[in-house]
Structure 1
Amino acid sequence: MIGEIDIVRHPVNACVPLRHKVVLSVWAKGRGKLHYQWFNYVLKDGKKEVCEVPGATQPNLTIRVTETQNYSCRVNDIYSNCRFTKWSHVLALDIDKSGLPPEWRGEPHIAVHPKPQTLRPGAKLTLRCTAFGVPQPKYQWYRNGTPLRQCTGEMLQVMQAGVQDAGTYLCAVTSVLGESWSDPADVDIQLTRPSIEVTPAAAFTATDKVALLIGNLNYAHHPGLTAPVMDVHELGLLLQQLGFKVLSLLDLTAEQMSAAVHNFTQLLDTGVYGLFYYAGHGFERAGRNYLVPVDAPQPYHTSTCVCVQRVMGKMQEKRTALSVILLDACRKWSKEGGTPSVIQPLRPTGNTVYGYATSEDAEAFEVQDLGKSTGIFTKYLNKHLLLPEKVTHVLERVSEDVDKDLLVKGKQAVEIRHSLKEARSLTDPVHSAGHTRELRLREVSWRHANELPQKKCLKYPCGAEVEVGFSALFSNVLVVFASIKRSQPHVVDCTVALSSAPAMEDIFSGHGRSEDFDSLLFGQFIEPGCTIWLCGLQTLEEPLFIRVDLHYSVHESESVRRCTQSQKLNVGKPLVASCGLRNKTVSPKHHNAQAYNANVSQERNQGPSTVQGFSRKAEGLPHVTVGRNTPEEHDEEDTLNFIHLK
């Protein structure tokens, strides 16, 4: 029987220079002595035929590669059982191999690096990265440090390049023997002459773009919110289109927020564009803005919240080319009826932009319209974000739209402050010339925080096969999904159930989930019943295990027996779990945001549907005076100069 022989290791694919020596190997197990015969393709009468390789009757086959060829090995025993290995594709490249080390052992070695290019919009973009390797290496292309989906070959092609394709490209070449990175290739998209009203897009460039997005919604001691989920998700997708390395996080405690800000600012450097965005509860005190973590006690206190001005101060210390802070949170003063706060000047380093969703002592609102939850400010921010305009001009467009919105007219007005000395735009291209070392360090750090587990195929004793895949909704939310790829005639009614150890919270389930949650969660998965969402990965202290239970029925003579087989999959510490943000969290209460927030109910002009707005104001602010003679705890370093702010 064929099953008596087991091929433990098949010969690998290889990519080598012409006339290079390659050893192909097969490892098989069976009863008694095994016999081997290697085969390859031979051209006969203009057609390729499978023929025996003369004298190739050992487990190892040594060849001197003179052309691209395929090889397979037949393994048979004395009982007339036989098995064939998978075909091994040996690719012979007639290209320069001068840089190949004399003692090369097959690790990835890049022979052809991608070249910089300057193109007109609509032209074809072609980048090539070719590497030797035994086994044949895999490719992954990156633009501005962000991996490009489905760009996993040695050739990257864009049939009609646009401004969104400009940036710095790198290719990672990997195998089980190691990893190698290509030289960076800058791609310029040369625009035609702009109109008089548009600033030339090529006037300014960034050495890199980095963004930290935080959305807090499930509060332990305060009313919950709904919109931050979609706000952070949609904004993150738009920023990725602009070439930003995006770290998006939901439901962070005070310690986790501070750690995330620290890690974020470590990735900033001279010439980098840095963007910080927050959606959640907030308040203002003594001219400073505070962001409320999910574990903040009642009442709020500055010592248990995150000071925005301190975040900007840390960004400024890195001398970024552009620092942007966008806050979709309330700014109610800590004492009702207090005098307006006095804004102290910020260090005049320039190129600093604040975009506040609302003005001083005012609330910021989120709305739900036909199941769609969004913050009013972020709704219009996402509308204009991709415009190739100066950052402040984009925010002015946002301000105008918010002012026209009947839901919040007279209740919420965007406030913009900046010390922007140059007409920099979020759409400015990335050029890393002279900064390649720093760029690669950021890429390694960013890739580490966004690394997904590899897809796995699990084989069960009953003969069924289940494929387990992974995706990331946010940097601290892992999506695990499973599907049955193969079954057997005697195995019917198969279903798969997933669970994790340790158990991770699912913040998307439960009462009050809006329709846009469902769209976000189920839009990319066919079988939601075979999917789990593991949230709060920053709290992981040990490797994460996924349990995959296969339930199936077996038909017996007079009955049907229900069976279960299980396997565990170790996925390590995926995404942000390995970045040191964890601390012990409190379990948030399950809030329905619609139950307790100020209602702003009005009818839209275009239809009868009712839209309700919910405040993101801070609850339980202590009644203390705004002015003070001595600094509060944790506020000593918050005195920053706001000179030249508009």
Structure 2
Amino acid sequence: MSDWNMGLVTLREGVLSKLADLLDNPKCGWRQLADAVNTQPQFRCSEKELIGCSVQVLSAKGSPSRLLLAKLADRAVSLSFLLQCLKKIEHREAVQFLTSIVEQIRIAVQPQSQRVPEGGRVVLSCQASGLPGMGYQWFKGKDEVPNGSAPDLILNHFSLNQQGYYICRVNHGENFVFSQWAQVTATVSENSSSANSGGFFPSSASGLIITQQPRSLTIAEGDSLCLECRSEGNPPPQYQWYHNKQPLLPANKPSLKVPRVTTADRGKYSCRVYNFYHEVWSDQVHVEIGPGSLCGATWDDTDDVDSFLNIPTRQLSHFYATDKVALLVGNMNYQYHRQLRAPMADVHELTNLLRQLDFKVVSLLDLNRQEMYSAVTEFLLLLDRGVYGLLYFAGHGYENYGNSFMVPIDAPASYTSEHCLWVQDVLQRMQERETGLNVFLLDMCRKRNLNDDIIQQPGPLKVTANIVFGYATCVDAEVNKDDLSNGIFISFLKKRLLEEEKVTVMLDRVAEDMGQCEITRGRQALELRSNLSERRALTDRIQSSDCPVATSARNLQWSIAHVLPDSRHLLFDCGVKVQLGFAAEFSNIMIIYTRILDQPQDIISCTAQLSDFSEGVDVDLKLTNQENPWDAGSLLFTLDNVGRQGVPKLYTRLRALQRLKMELKFTVCLHYQYSNMDEEVQEKQTVTVGKPLVAKLNLHEPRLPRSFSASSSGDLNTFSLPESSSFPEGLEASALASETSSLGSASTCWSYFSQVGEAAGNAKQANVPEETLSPEFLEPDQPQPLSAECKSMPQDRLEDQLRTKLNFHSC
């Protein structure tokens, strides 16, 4: 499809079905399209034909819009006329989709990595098809190549300083695509000084070239999958296959074969080809498993439209969530019991995955009983009619007489139920919120507690048919996992969580995976209980409820606990300028970093260190003011060099922010030395940053019992801010309805709060750290397209990044 004059009949079935889905609505749909088409007599549909379209709703799979499009295709309606009619009825989503299909750019020939002798000639080719008049633009790294505006980039007399990665940008109007990266290196003779430095490859080595690329496939469930990637190079190449950017083990041959595929095998595949000197990546291809497995899939995530034009009709799930919220609690540092380490990695991993599914995530580590109860109570305030709620606990636990209990970190040595949180009580409180889906996952032991002989009697559960309850262990079992890697349950769950399947089906497959593993067999088994009667999945889309006040209140309630202090600059009397930055590792753990931005020339050394923290904050003084986050005690948090290279930075990690009763206050002590002095000089400034992150919720305070038997929307409408909230007085949820209805569903980054700040008349700006780029989505050892530069950016661009893949929990 390269011309708008082509007929509607040229569209593939997948595209027509997607258009039909967009037009099957009463307000701006197929009837309005039929009226617009009737302006041309040769395309007019009779009243009898329109009645035939309307009765399609009587069939379970019938679509009035699909039948209308078929009749228009029979009348040889052109794509340009169809687009004109869609614009006339102002169906913007259909216009955008059809335009993206017709005006797409396809790269047929990719530039290939190569190795040439110094002084030789390099030719890189990039051939695109789809539209006439396309433009080409070549780049070396992020720098544009002079005169690189043709499909072929020719470099005569190739020199050492021209070595690097090259990429081509193909554009037509506002549409553009990037080619794959091509690495070009120069051969240097063994006698040259450059060769003696060991910086380049021996003359016997040759560049890797992929001679056969894998291809996208559509196969049925139970069929065999075979992908091929062939390459040539010296030394001989090695291979590693990836599925959805995760390495497959073992999969280190040119051919990837899966005997009997399931829906879990669908997704994107690529192959990493490498030897001692080079590395190249194959094309990323899509494997679809159908036709029955296509239920519930979405169209928004497609990177290559071509791969979807040949697949069977995609039936979109009709279930949706009015919002998605999750509370993740990991207890490790117990006062009177064995210490754990895996819960931190598990909460971190699950946070990242749920964020990709548009969940608002609250992640907390090391809570005592009061804090656990308060956290659950605050979490329940986020639940509302139609909301998807997920609660996950990792730590010590036990089960007596069918009742399970989560053990807080302050439980005494001989604890009983009164020292713990009763799981069945929390589950009942969740159920009363009239949510669309309740998922409760417990990653803890279920051994009998001999100190507790009380038999709890839970009240009757309300019949809602929306509960999924999972234990990571079977009855009378325990888990012993003390290292920092993921626990057994999360190790298997993270491979399945993003699957577009009913949540119970997804968890059943996790259980099957655990049962097939030799390590877990006989040691740990996932146990599930569910009364879920609908095909609801964690991947279901979010569609705002009809009550904007309740939505706004929920967004505000969640956002209060995820506001970071503003990054600020401190100017000292000596002329030194210090930047003070903040970042969140978890909802109750914050990283503070300092760096010197400017200093007079006569100062030869300078550092800015933090001290004198407010009472209540948990900080190990031996781990403060460290040169990297790891030395500061953070084993998962990363903040790569997004600033200028060589600028000193010191990191301090603050834990247990939920116990902060007063505003956070600390001292910034500047240590510096003049060139003409032997002694060090100090200057101090006191900084107050309010109550960051979850500290605003005052989880240390007792919560009054709340009744959730009334309508959830009513609770949210009467919602009020905590006393310590940093937002302006009088800021009511109802005034935020129009501004915050989409907050949170678009982003799950902790500090994303711009809409609320705007609704308050810009009284409070978004508290987003200046340096927030995280590189976990970059391909290993590969340069990225120009949009992935690691640098500070304006607020509006940063928010766009936050809506996609930015994530402070990456490791």
Say which of 574, 582, 586 aligns to 2:692: 574
Q: Shift of the alpha carbon at 1:401?
A: 2.1
Match 1:397 to one of 497, 505, 509: 509
Superposed, which structure 2 residues align to 1:630-641 within 5 Å?
A: none
Paired residue for 1:310? Answer: 425
Q: How many residues align?
A: 400
Which residue is 1:406 aligned to? 518
Q: Which residue number corresponds to residue 675 of structure 2?
A: 555
Between Structure 1 and Structure 2, the one with more helix by share is: 2
TM-score, length of structure 1 as denominator length: 0.57
Instruction: Please tell me whether residue 449 in structure 1 is matched to residue 561 in structure 2.
Output: yes
> Which residue of structure 2 aligns with residue 505 of structure 1?
618
State the distance in 2 between where 1:437 and 1:297 align.
43
**8 Å CA contact retained: 2:632, 2:653:** no
- 2:533 aligned with 1:421: yes
Give the drift of 1:576: 0.9
Q: Give the drift of 1:380.
A: 1.3
Distance 1:413 1:121, change over 3 A: farther
Partner of 2:481, secondary structure, is strand
SS in structure 2 at match of 1:383? coil
Aligned residue in 2 for 1:480: 592
Deviation at 1:292? 0.2
CA drift of 1:507 comes to: 7.3
- In 2, the alpha carbon distance for the partners of 1:408 and 1:524 equals 36
Q: Structure 1 residues 359, 528: CA separation in 2 closer, same or farther (over 3 Å shift)?
A: farther
Structure 2 SS opposite 1:424: coil
The worse-fitting range, judged by mean Cα deviation, of 415-424 and 430-439 is 430-439
Bigger fraction of residues in strand: 1
Aligned to 2:651: 531
Deviations 1:421-461 (A, max 9, x none): 00100010000041322111111111111001010000011
For 1:9-24, list aligned pairs within 5 A. Answer: none
How much does 1:398 deviate? Answer: 1.4
CA deviation digits over 1:539-591, x for unaligned, max 9? 111110132111111122xx42211111111100111111120159xxxxxxx
Among residues 360, 380, 391, which one is paired with 1:245 in the alignment?
Answer: 360
CA distance in 1 between partners of 2:684 and 2:541 (Å): 49
Residue identity in the other structure for 1:549: C
Q: 1:238 to 1:290 in 2, by over 3 A?
A: same
Offset of 1:518 from its aligned partner?
4.9
2:637 corresponds to 1:521: yes
How many angstroms apart in 2 are the aligned matches of 1:334 and 1:538? Answer: 29
Q: Name which structure has the greater RCO, CA cutoff 8 Å, separation 6+.
A: 1
Question: How far off its partner does 1:343 sit?
Answer: 10
Give the distance between the partners of 1:449 and 1:517, measured in 2 at CA: 23
- Which amino acid in structure 2 is aligned with residue 457 of structure 1? H
* 1:218 alignment counterpart: 333
- Partner Cα distance (2:175, 2:559) in 1: 23
Q: How does 1:117-516 map to 2 (within 5 A)?
A: 117=93, 195-201=291-297, 202-335=317-450, 346-366=461-481, 368=483, 372-499=484-611, 500-502=613-615, 504-506=617-619
Counterpart Cα distance in 2 of 1:195 and 1:496: 61
Residues 200, 522 of structure 1: CA spacing in aligned structure 2 closer, same or farther, 3 A cutoff?
closer
SS at match of 2:413: coil
Distance 2:388 2:474 in 1: 25
Distance 1:490 1:515 in 2: 31
Instruction: Look up the match of 1:543.
Output: 663
| Identical aligned residues as a percent | 39
Once residues 258 and 121 of structure 1 are traced to their aligned partners in structure 2, the CA distance between those partners, rounded to angstroms, is 51
Shift of 1:504: 2.3
Q: Secondary structure at the match of 2:501?
A: coil
Judge conservation of contact 2:363–2:588 (CA < 8 Å) in 1. Answer: yes
Cα distance change on mapping 1:200 and 1:529 into 2, 3 Å: closer
Q: TM-score, length-normalised on structure 2?
A: 0.46
CA separation of 1:567 and 1:517: change in aligned 2, threshold 3 A: closer
| Structure 1 stretches lacking a partner, 5+ long | 1-114, 125-156, 165-191, 585-646
Partner amino acid, structure 1, of 2:525: A
Q: CA 1:343–1:391 in 2, change beyond 3 Å: closer, same or farther?
A: farther
1:154 match: none
The Cα of 1:238 is off from its aligned counterpart by 1.2
Letter in 2 for 1:546: F
- Kept in 2: contact 1:215–1:250 (CA 8 A): yes
Tell me if structure 2 keeps the 8 A contact 1:217–1:225: yes
Seen in structure 2, the aligned counterparts of structure 1 residues 242 and 508 have a Cα distance that, compared at 3 Å, is farther
> Which structure 2 segments of 5+ residues have no match?
1-90, 102-173, 178-243, 245-287, 298-316, 624-628, 703-811
Could you tell me whether the CA contact under 8 Å between 2:424 and 2:458 is conserved in 1?
Answer: no
